[in-house]
Every structure is written in structure tokens, then in C-alpha cells.
């Protein structure tokens, strides 16, 4: 028998309870090196993870082999962030062995929850963009699409957030401290990546001008592979993350003692490249290390992609037929110049041929229109760090500008807008323009966002290339966000409509009929209540606060950002608090305001908003006059694991960004799928959620993107007038500004009050306040009628099928990537 298949016959493949139990014991002793009596929960987690990993390796190799055998076109998802979260439940669930594992652990006297809780949360991302990448990995594998994720193996993920005295304090997140059982280190997969140095011009063999990059510093990119288990375990794809390693090329002869130590130090410092994730969300700081990170992982990934391609091909004209490279935002956009460099300088292709191949291979996704988030690197920095790339960017730019209509029309303003170089002030490279120009498709992440891309940042490019911009509305994986996070609801759904929805979420529409079924409504409520109890216990553990399970769980969980308008929610909270105090005899619908989210460490306003929420919570939660009617909690350290507890328990989902500013949102989809009703503006994907769930089943308020645009164009508005005309808003703001929530420092919130008044209220918090309160009242009114509320909640769940990331990646596969499912040959039986 072929040696490759031997492992199939041994215990490592067994999926039954006994086999699992035996391999747990074996792993614990021989790999973790512990006696069962001395094993900690972490030891057991490592044991179980390693045993589960065993069960995917054969299929993983089958999958990879099938891709090679069919020479399938692959899609490479290049992303600086993958916000993965924990993997144990995910792997077990996608393999279909959750119960078997639970029983095996049970026989060993262990609780599955304890083992699951010992896994660190892999937070290699900041927010939406990184979590989207993780959902896409799950969907590509579950759809059988040959998809690879490429990114950085950060030693420190997104910081751990704690509150000290109500203020956010950041601590390092050392997720790799105790090792990572999911990954395979590949010390033999190493690529050199260069920085600095200079460019030398020379004549090639046929006498043409050519260039080489010399005297550069080098670092090595080493691969770590994590198997990505598709649902059903048929396809196991790969997430390849790069870690920086110092090169070993010392020239010992040249050093005296001091210089030697210095050289070694320099080498070690080069490993800092993959040390830490930048904690910015939609903001750029222009730090050189960040540019180097971007180039580091992009260059290594492209070298790896070309190596794989060259195993089957000797020339490059087929590259676009064999590889689709998706740029997750502009972070890997330097890859366009890098592929040109590799093709022209290293493989001696003609410029025009290389450009055609490059453009046909790349596609680019834009995730935000916020001007401060559009990457623009100083020309001087790129010249120094990546001198050859700067030349290539100039060349791309010159050729493009020479061809544009603008030149012919003499429209210099338009020409300078289209340029890859921003000449205003310090000269900068506009990475968005580079990404647009070097891609054959460019997409936004919701219908509204894509439309706004055409009208604003990319208006000139859209005119120039009218077929390039397309929409791909985001989605979420139903495996993690319903099946795993919400077992109570997902089991109920499966008993009624079968389990087809797990791999084809459109089938969840079969629940629509059940909205009118009293018994089903009762069961739906019971599942929600179970989740609310779980969250209440979590809140008590995390904050010490007791909340009423039968209150409305009104949830806003996302990064802290002014445009997301947590402030609007806080102002409503204060107004509601005042009303409850003024009218103690009214029978109020009890409300629990749940907030969670991290602020970028340098974003002072967002951190001040965190402190305000904590201060308001302190006052409200200790005021006996509102009793249990109102509670405010801000949960620390929001991450994927916390989201899995919070989202299934939500009644009301806050999606209240200033219209036109949230590109899509994906938390909005997770919450609605789990039966929360949305209160939101017509922004991002909320617009499409409304279309799918129906206008009667969502609370929409506030200005539209168009109205916001018109208002700003007409010179803005006077927030003071709005405030003066709304007594409850005025009172809430007065309380903040006079120190009602900060008696220890009455001026603490001056910057917030200032921004909302004389600062012009850029995010239109005051402008939308009255309509927001109206929508909140409507929600509270509806909550008094549990049957009607539940009916709408069920219709939300039932109508969210379209928002599966399976649908999204299928759209990309068909319309952008041209990749097709491959069915791996497993040479044996399937898992399920
Ligand atoms: C986010 C957007 O803010 C969010 O609306 C969208 O749903 C998500 O990307 C995925 O497309 N942007 C970022 C970022 O996370 O860093 O720009």
C-alpha cells in the first residue's frame, strides 16, 4: 500500500467516542507530556486540538493534491488582518463531531466548556475588515473553492482592553505564549524580502535598459500553515501566515567585537516586523514599520504564488487563468508594483505584457470612505524603503496619465486627481489609486457604499473605467454566527426545517411560515431567554452588575468610533434615565444597554467616550430611583469570543452610524440573523437588511446619506439651535457638561460637548437625536407585546439568508475571480 495512505488506517482518523478518547490520552502523554492527574485545562485544550488536527491532515493533503492535479485556478486572499477567534468548536462543528468530543471528554471527567475556554482568542485583526476575511476563509472552504489566505503571524494580536477607573488601558495580547496547536511551522518555506538599498541600471543581454535592486537589507519570511476546515470536512484549505526571521548571512571576517554585536542586534531587530498588529481601525498613522509589514507579507505571498504557478507553467501569460489575487483593502496594494518588479526585473518580461498580466490577476476591495483611512505613503518614505517600487509606481503613473482623456481635454485638475501621486503638500503615493489602476475589478462592500465610491473617492476613475467598479455586499458565516454561537436557536431551527440551512442559508426562509405559529414563537422566545441568561451571567462575571433577563437587551458592539455614534446611544440612555426618574409611577419597559468595543490607543475622543459610558453606568446603576428599569454595562475586551456570547442574546441591534459613513457593517447581519431587531440608519448594509427583512420589521430613523451630503454641502447646521429646541437633549448635554457623571472632574467631558456644539457636530448626533428617540420609543412599545415582537424577530432570522458569506464568496468566485469548486478525491469515505 502507498505509504501516504497508511495513516488513514490508524486510530488518528477515528471519529467515534472511544477513538477520540484514546487519542486524547495518547496525545496528552506523548505530545503534551503530561500525566492526566497533573494536566491543566490548557493541557487538555492542546491535547484535544492536536487530536482534532490529526483528523484533518489527510483530507488537507487530499485537498491540496487535488488542486495540483487539476491545476485548478486558485484565489489568494491577501489580508493584513484575519480576525479568527477560537478554532476548537469551529473545527469540531465543521467536522460534525461536537457531541462525540463532548462525550469523550465526559468519560475522562472533563467538561467540554472548560476545554473550549482554555483556548486563546486569535485576534489578528481590528474589526470588520479582519473578521470578514475570517468569514470568507470559512465560506471558501465550505463551498469547495480553492482559496488561500495570506497574512502575518503577529506575535501580539489586538491589545487586551481593561478598564481602570473607567478608562481604557491596553495590555499586550500574548496569544502565542503557550504555543499554537493548530499551526504547522514550515521552516523550509522561506522567502527573502528586501528593504532600503538602491537601484542600479544596466544593459540586459539584448542591450535594453534594465534595473536591479542592490545593497538592500534582507529579512526572511517563514511560513506557518493553519488548516481551514470547510463545513462537512470535505475541503480543507490553507491559511498561510508569515513570520519574520533574521537572515544568517553574517560575514564574520569583517567585524571587530563592537561591530559584530551591533550586526547581530540589527538582525534580531529585523524580526520585529511580524511582532505586533497595528491597533488602528480605519485610521492611518503613516508609520514606516507598517509600510514594511505590508510589503513583507505581500512580497512573500507573491513569491509563493509564483513558485506554485511555476510548478505547472514555464511562461507567465497564463498566470491570470491560474491565480486570482484579492487585495483586502489597500494594505497589500504595493503588491501591484511588486508583481511588476518580479515579472520585469526577475523574469525579464516586457513591461506591457507584465502590466496586462498584473491587472488581470489583481482585484481590490475597498472597505471605507473615511478620508483619514485612505492610505497615502510619503514618496520620500517609499523611495527610501522600496526604491525600485517607487520607480515602478512613477512608470505606471506616467504611462497611465499619458493615455487618459483628461490630458487630451487639458483638464489638469482631473489629471491631478487621477494621478498616483498626491502633489498637494508633502508628495504622497495614493494607494487607493494604485490599487484601482492595477486591478481588473474593484468592489465596495454594500450597495450604498459601492454607489458612493462611484460618486466620491473613485468618481474620476469610474468615469475612466466604467466597468471596473462592482458591488459585493458583505456576508457572515452561518456556521460560526448561528450554528456554533447559538446552539439553542440553531437546534430549534434544525428540528423544524432540517439542517440544510447550515450549508445553504437561503433555506432558512422556510421559517417565515413559523412566525405565525404560536408554539414556535414560544420556543423561539425560550431559546432567546436561554441566551440572555448566559449573557447575564457573563455580565455579572465581567462587571459585577446584575441585569434583568426580562429587560430589552439593547446592544451596541463594535469598535469605538465617532462615526458609529456610540454617543447618540449614550445621549438616549441619559434622556431615558431622566424620564424614568421624572415618572417613577409609570410602568416602564426595563432596558439593559449593553456596550462593548475597543478604541484605537491613540484615538482620544473614542477613549473619552468609553470613560463617559462607564461614568454614566456608574450613576445609573447605583440610582435606586430607576431601580431595575435601566442598567448600563460596558463589557471589557470585546473580541470574537465575547461576540459569540453577546450576539445571540440581543433583542435590539444598534446600527446607528451617520448615513454614508459605515461601508457595510457585518455585526448588523450577525445580530439580525440571531433574531435581534435592528434600530438603525439607512447606512451600509442596513439598507439591504431593510429590503430583506421588510420595513415593518426594522426601526429605521435619521437622515439619509443624500440628506447628510446636502446638509454638509450647504455649509452644515447649527447644533445649538437643535439642542435649544429639544429639552431632553439639552438636559442630557447639560448634565454631561456640568459634571453630573464626573463630579470628580467636572470638565472631563468638555471635548465631547464642544464637538457636539461649537465644533459643528460633524457626525450629526444632535441632528438625528429626536428621530432616534422616536424609533427607540417604537421599539419599547413593541416589546410590550411579546407575541408581535417575537413574530418580527423570527422574520428577521428567516429573511437573513442572503447575508451568508457563502453567497458573497460565490459572487466573487463567479464575477471577479473566475474560480470554481474542486471536489477533493479522498480515496475513502466522507465524514458525514
Ligand atoms: C470595515 C467597515 O468599517 C465596515 O463597515 C465593513 O463592514 C467592514 O470593513 C468589512 O467590509 N472597515 C474596516 C477598516 O474594518 O479597517 O477599514
Query: Looking at this predicted complex, what is its ipTM?
Result: 0.97
Q: Is 666 a catalytic residue?
A: yes
Closest by Cα among 537, 797, 495 to 653: 797
pLDDT of amino acid 255:
63
Q: Which atom of ligand 1 is nearest to the CA of 370?
A: 17
Asked, for residue 345, whether it belongs to a domain, the answer is yes
The domain boundary, picked from 357, 392, 427, lies at: 392
With a cut of 50, which residues of the chain have pLDDT below it? Answer: 1-9, 829-832
Question: Is 13 noted as a catalytic residue in this protein?
Answer: no
The single residue listed with the C-alpha cell 501580539 is 156
Where among 353, 373, 392 does a domain terminate? 392
Residue 519 to residue 513: CA distance in whole angstroms? 12
Q: Which CATH number do you get for residue 691?
A: 3.40.50.2000
Same domain, yes or no: 250 and 382: yes
Burial zone of 441 (CB within 10 Å; 0-12 exposed, 13-18 middle, 19+ buried): buried
* Secondary structure (3-state) at 587: coil
- How much is the pLDDT for 832? 36
d(CA 393, CA 429): 8
Residue 413 lies in a domain: no
Among 292, 670, 748, 807, which one carries the catalytic annotation?
670
Candidate list 74, 559, 561, 690, residue with the active-site label: 559
Q: Indicate whether 470 belongs to any domain.
A: no
Is residue 4 situated within a structural domain?
A: no
- Pocket of ligand 1, candidates 367, 371, 559: which has the most ligand atoms within 8 Å of its Cβ, to mutate? 367
Q: Same domain for 497 and 355?
A: no
Show the domain range for 777.
Answer: 478-803
**Ligand 1 midpoint to CA 369 (Å):** 10
Residue 584 falls within a domain, yes or no?
A: yes
Q: Residues with Cβ < 8 Å from 174, sequence gap 6 or more? A: 155, 156
Q: 364 with 485, same domain?
A: no
The answer for residues whose C-beta is within 8 angstroms of residue 761's C-beta and 6 or more apart is 717, 719, 755, 767
Does 83 sit in the ligand 1 pocket, CB within 6 Å? no
Residue 3, pLDDT score: 42
Cβ atoms 822, 492 nearer than 8 A: no
C-alpha 130 – ligand 1 centre gap (Å): 8
As a dihedral over the C-alpha atoms of residue 77, residue 79, residue 83, residue 86, rounded to 10 degrees, the angle is 50
Beta bridge partners of 363: 326, 441
Is 206 a member of any domain? yes
Q: Is 808 in the pocket of ligand 1 (CB under 6 A)?
A: no
**pLDDT value at residue 262:** 78
162-220 pLDDT, tens digit per residue, is: 999 999 999 999 999 999 999 999 999 999 999 999 999 999 888 899 999 999 999 99
CB 357 within 8 Å of CB 437: no
Q: Is residue 743 part of a domain?
A: yes
Helices assigned H by DSSP within 172-324 = 257-269, 288-310, 319-322
Same domain? For 381 and 502 the reply is no
Burial (CB count <10 Å: 0-12, 13-18, 19+), residue 141: buried
Name the residue with the closest Cα to ligand 1, atom 17.
Answer: 282
Which pLDDT belongs to residue 253? 56
21 catalytic? Reply is: no
Please give the Cα distance from 244 to 262 (Å, whole number).
19
Q: Residue 188 carries which DSSP code?
A: E
The catalytically annotated residue of 666, 790, 797, 808 is 666
User: With a 6 A CB cut-off, is 662 part of the ligand 1 pocket?
Assistant: yes
How many structural domains is the chain composed of?
2
Q: How far does CA 425 lie from the centroid of its chain? A: 33
Compute, in angstroms, the gap from residue 636 CA to the centroid of ligand 1.
21
- Regarding the beta carbon of 666 and ligand 1, being less than 6 Å apart is answered yes
Strands 198-203, 421-422: parallel, antiparallel or unpaired by DSSP?
unpaired
The predicted pLDDT at position 205 comes to 87
517 and 384 in a single domain? The answer is: no
Q: Say whether both 484 and 388 belong to one domain.
A: no
**Do 366 and 497 fall within a single domain?**
no
Q: What is the per-residue pLDDT for 7?
A: 46
**pLDDT score recorded for residue 562:** 98
User: Which residue, among 724, 740, 762, has the nearest Cα to 605 in the 3D structure?
Assistant: 762
Inter-axis angle of helices 98-107 and 41-70, nearest 10: 150
Which candidate, 767, 796, 790, 775, places its Cα nearest to that of 699? 775
- Evaluate whether 675 touches 793 at the Cβ level (below 8 Å): yes
pLDDT reported for residue 671: 99
Lookup result for grid cell 490548557: 42
Count of beta carbons in the 10 Å neighbourhood of residue 302: 26
C-alpha–C-alpha distance, residues 62 and 824, integer Å = 6
The reply to whether 277 falls in a domain is: yes
The last residue of a domain, from among 360, 392, 424: 392
- Is 475 a pocket residue for ligand 1 (Cβ < 6 Å)? no
Substitution site in 77, 129, 683 for ligand 1 pocket (most atoms within 8 Å of beta carbon) = 129
Which mutation among 280, 368, 559 tests ligand 1's pocket best, with the greatest number of atoms within 8 A of CB?
Answer: 368
Contact 180, 153 (CB under 8 A): no
User: What pLDDT digit, counting tens, does each position of 87-105 carry?
Assistant: 999 999 999 999 999 999 9
How far does residue 263's CA lie from ligand 1's centre (Å)? 41
The CA distance from 286 to 300, in Å, is: 22
Do residue 352 and residue 249 come from a single domain?
A: yes
Q: Atom of ligand 1 at shortest distance to CA of 132? A: 10
Asked about 530 being catalytic, the answer comes back as no
Cell of 162: 481593561
Q: Who's near 126: CB < 8 A, 6+ residues apart?
A: 81, 83, 158, 277, 278, 279, 280, 281, 559
Q: Quote the pLDDT of residue 269.
A: 87
> What are the DSSP calls for 699-741, one per residue?
EE-S--HHHHHHHHHTT---HHHHHHT-HHHHHHHHHHHHTSS
Assess whether 387 and 501 both reside in one domain: no
Model-level pTM?
A: 0.96
Amino acid at each position: 500500500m502507498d505509504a501516504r495512505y497508511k495513516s488513514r488506517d490508524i486510530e488518528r482518523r477515528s471519529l467515534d467516542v472511544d477513538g477520540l478518547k484514546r487519542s486524547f490520552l495518547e496525545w496528552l502523554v506523548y505530545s503534551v507530556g503530561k500525566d492526566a492527574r497533573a494536566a491543566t485545562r490548557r493541557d487538555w485544550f492542546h491535547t484535544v486540538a492536536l487530536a482534532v488536527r490529526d483528523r484533518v491532515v489527510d483530507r488537507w493533503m487530499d485537498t491540496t493534491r487535488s488542486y495540483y492535479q487539476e491545476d485548478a485556478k486558485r484565489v489568494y486572499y491577501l489580508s493584513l488582518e484575519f480576525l479568527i477567534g477560537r478554532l476548537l468548536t469551529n473545527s469540531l462543528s465543521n467536522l460534525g463531531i461536537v457531541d462525540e468530543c463532548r462525550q469523550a471528554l465526559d468519560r475522562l471527567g472533563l467538561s467540554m466548556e472548560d476545554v473550549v475556554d482554555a483556548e486563546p482568542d486569535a485576534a489578528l485583526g481590528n474589526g470588520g475588515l479582519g473578521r470578514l476575511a475570517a468569514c470568507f476563509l470559512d465560506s471558501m472552504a465550505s463551498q469547495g473553492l480553492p482559496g488561500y489566505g495570506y497574512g502575518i503571524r503577529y506575535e501580539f494580536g489586538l491589545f487586551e482592553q481593561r478598564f481602570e477607573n473607567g478608562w481604557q488601558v491596553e495590555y499586550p495580547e500574548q496569544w502565542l505564549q503557550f504555543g499554537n496547536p493548530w499551526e504547522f511551522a514550515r521552516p523550509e518555506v522561506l522567502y527573502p524580502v528586501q528593504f532600503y538599498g538602491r537601484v542600479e541600471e544596466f544593459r540586459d543581454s539584448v542591450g535594453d535598459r534594465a534595473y536591479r535592486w542592490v545593497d538592500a537589507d534582507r529579512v526572511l519570511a517563514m511560513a506557518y500553515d493553519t488548516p481551514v476546515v470547510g463545513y462537512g470536512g470535505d475541503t480543507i484549505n490553507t491559511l498561510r501566515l508569515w513570520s519574520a526571521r533574521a537572515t544568517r548571512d553574517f560575514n564574520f571576517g569583517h567585524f571587530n567585537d563592537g561591530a559584530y554585536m551591533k550586526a547581530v542586534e540589527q538582525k534580531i531587530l529585523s524580526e520585529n516586523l511580524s511582532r505586533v498588529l497595528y491597533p488602528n481601525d480605519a485610521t492611518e498613522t503613516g508609520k514606516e514599520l507598517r509600510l514594511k509589514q505590508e510589503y513583507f507579507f505581500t512580497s512573500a505571498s507573491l513569491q509563493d504564488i509564483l513558485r506554485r504557478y511555476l510548478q505547472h507553467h514555464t511562461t507567465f501569460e497564463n498566470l491570470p487563468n491560474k491565480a486570482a489575487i484579492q487585495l483586502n483593502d489597500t494594505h497589500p496594494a504595493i503588491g501591484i508594483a511588486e508583481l511588476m518588479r518580479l515579472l520585469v526585473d526577475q523574469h525579464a518580461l516586457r513591461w506591457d505584457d507584465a502590466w496586462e498580466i498584473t491587472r488581470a490577476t489583481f482585484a481590490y476591495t475597498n472597505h471605507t470612505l473615511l478620508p483619514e483611512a485612505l492610505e497615502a505613503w510619503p514618496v520620500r518614505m517609499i523611495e527610501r524603503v522600496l526604491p525600485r517600487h517607487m520607480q515602478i509606481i512613477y512608470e505606471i503613473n506616467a504611462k497611465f496619465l499619458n493615455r487618459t482623456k483628461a490630458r487630451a481635454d487639458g483638464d489638469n485638475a482631473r489629471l491631478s486627481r487621477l494621478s498616483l501621486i498626491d502633489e498637494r503638500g508633502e508628495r504622497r503615493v495614493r494607494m487607493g489609486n494604485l490599487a484601482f489602476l492595477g486591478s481588473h475589478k474593484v468592489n465596495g462592500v454594500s450597495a450604498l457604499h459601492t454607489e458612493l465610491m462611484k460618486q466620491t473617492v473613485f468618481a474620476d476613475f469610474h468615469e475612466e473605467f466604467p466597468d471596473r467598479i462592482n458591488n459585493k455586499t458583505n456576508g457572515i458565516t452561518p456556521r460560526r454566527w448561528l450554528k456554533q454561537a447559538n446552539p439553542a436557536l440553531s437546534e430549534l431551527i434544525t428540528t423544524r426545517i432540517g439542517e440544510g440551512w447550515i450549508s445553504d442559508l437561503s433555506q432558512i426562509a422556510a421559517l417565515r411560515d413559523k412566525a405565525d405559529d404560536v408554539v414556535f414563537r414560544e420556543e423561539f422566545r425560550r431559546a432567546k431567554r436561554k441566551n440572555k441568561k448566559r449573557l447575564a451571567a457573563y455580565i455579572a462575571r465581567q462587571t459585577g452588575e446584575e441585569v434583568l433577563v426580562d429587560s430589552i437587551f439593547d446592544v451596541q458592539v463594535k469598535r469605538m468610533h465617532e462615526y458609529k455614534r456610540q454617543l447618540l446611544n449614550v445621549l438616549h440612555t441619559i434622556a431615558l434615565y431622566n424620564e424614568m426618574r421624572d415618572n417613577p409611577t409609570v410602568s416602564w419597559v426595563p432596558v439593559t444597554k449593553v456596550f462593548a468595543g475597543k478604541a484605537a490607543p491613540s484615538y482620544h475622543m473614542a477613549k473619552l467616550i468609553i470613560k463617559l459610558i462607564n461614568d454614566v453606568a456608574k450613576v445609573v446603576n447605583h440610582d435606586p430611583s430607576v431601580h431595575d428599569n435601566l442598567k448600563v454595562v460596558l463589557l471589557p475586551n470585546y473580541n470574537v469570543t465575547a461576540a459569540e456570547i453577546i450576539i445571540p442574546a440581543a433583542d435590539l441591534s444598534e446600527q446607528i452610524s451617520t448615513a454614508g459613513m459605515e461601508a457595510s457593517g457585518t455585526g448588523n447581519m450577525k445580530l439580525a440573523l440571531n433574531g435581534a431587531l435592528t434600530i438603525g440608519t439607512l447606512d451600509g448594509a442596513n439598507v439591504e437588511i431593510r429590503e430583506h427583512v421588510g420595513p415593518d420589521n426594522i426601526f429605521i430613523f435619521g437622515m439619509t446619506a443624500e440628506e447628510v451630503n446636502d446638509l454638509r454641502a450647504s455649509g452644515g447646521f447649527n447644533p445649538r439651535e437643535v439642542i435649544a429646541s429639544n429639552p431632553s437633549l439639552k438636559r442630557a448635554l447639560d448634565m454631561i457638561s456640568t459634571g453630573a457623571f464626573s463630579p470628580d472632574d467636572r470638565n472631563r467631558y468638555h471635548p465631547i460637548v464642544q464637538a457636539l456644539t461649537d465644533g459643528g457636530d460633524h457626525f450629526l448626533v444632535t441632528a438625528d437625536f429626536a428621530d432616534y428617540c422616536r424609533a427607540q420609543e417604537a421599539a419599547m412599545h413593541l416589546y410590550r407585546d411579546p407575541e408581535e415582537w417575537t413574530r418580527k424577530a423570527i422574520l428577521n432570522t428567516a429573511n437573513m439568508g442572503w447575508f451568508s458569506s457563502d453567497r458573497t464568496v460565490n459572487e466573487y468566485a463567479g464575477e471577479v475571480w473566475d474560480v470554481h469548486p474542486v471536489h477533493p478525491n479522498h480515496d475513502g469515505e466522507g465524514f458525514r
